[in-house]
Copies of this chain bind each other. A is one copy, B any other.
């Protein structure tokens, strides 16, 4: 199966798939004459794995490690959980910060009249006049 078909099957762009190949996340067979990549069902499974891992915000490096564990029958689930827990902490931290930012900005937006007059609590806050 060529890369275009693999793209359709997985929902990943051909650009993304080539990028994963460059980063050695997968290594599909190559036609020795044309250089065309040839994807097996196993390759597709790995691509779908990568897609879901990326959707969960795992980095490429994380994905690489997870994929290795996935292909390693004698793995310890602890190793997987360690990676996932770390990512979970990151997501927690990001989510908290984002919620905080959102609330701050929401307050400012609500207080701004949004008319043709120049007075603006948002600019005031940015200028630090009340902080």
CB-defined contacts of A34 to chain B, threshold 8 Å: none
* B109 and A76 contact, CB distance less than 8 A: no
With an 8 Å Cβ cutoff, the count of chain A residues facing the other chain is 53
Q: How far is the CB of A49 from chain B (nearest CB, A)?
A: 5
Chain B min CB distance to A126 (Å): 5
Whether A84 sits at the interface, judged by CB under 8 Å, is yes
Give the residue name and chain of the B residue nearest to A75 (CB): B118
Chain A residues packing against B (C-beta within 8 Å): 45, 48-49, 52-53, 55-57, 66, 69-70, 73-78, 80-82, 84-85, 87-88, 91-92, 94-95, 98-99, 101-102, 104-106, 108-109, 112-120, 122-123, 125-128, 131
